[in-house]
Structure 1
Amino acid sequence: EEQGGISFIILFYSHRNEIYYLPFTQIKAFYERSINGGRKSFRFEEIDKEFILKSAPGAPVHYLEGIQRDLSLRDN
């Protein structure tokens, strides 16, 4: 991120059969909360549901949509 790259995590909730893109901003917020004495894990309810990833023909995890959304939010 500091060098202009894109950092993210892809989360798969097997019991829900849902995949989410977790942008660096959320990862950083969860990390900072943990080092400041807060909760060390995050709950499903805390994940931005706008970052759900859909499967597409030929792409079991269509993460490019997550990256595009992430980049568009950075431009604002």
Structure 2
Amino acid sequence: MKKFEYQILEVEATGFWSGGKIDSQELTTRLNELGEEGWELTSSFATNKYEGQSRAAILVLKRERTEPA
């Protein structure tokens, strides 16, 4: 039976009163690094601050666990 481990990545928005944008290039670089380690992005969602502004993005990643021999 396959077994998985999970990682939660919180990406803070930056900019005007911390309600700004997420640096997409930095996020792409980080996700590619995690992908090289076997992590797969399974879902994501934003947390709201007020008036529709995002405070952060929450990313859920998983990878198959390798059992010790």
TM bucket normalised to smaller: under 0.3
Structure with the larger helix share:
1
Quick check: which one's strand share is greater?
Answer: 2
TM-score normalised by the chain length of structure 1? 0.25
Instruction: Identify which of structures 1 and 2 has the higher relative contact order when contacts are C-alpha pairs closer than 8 Å and 6+ apart.
Output: 2
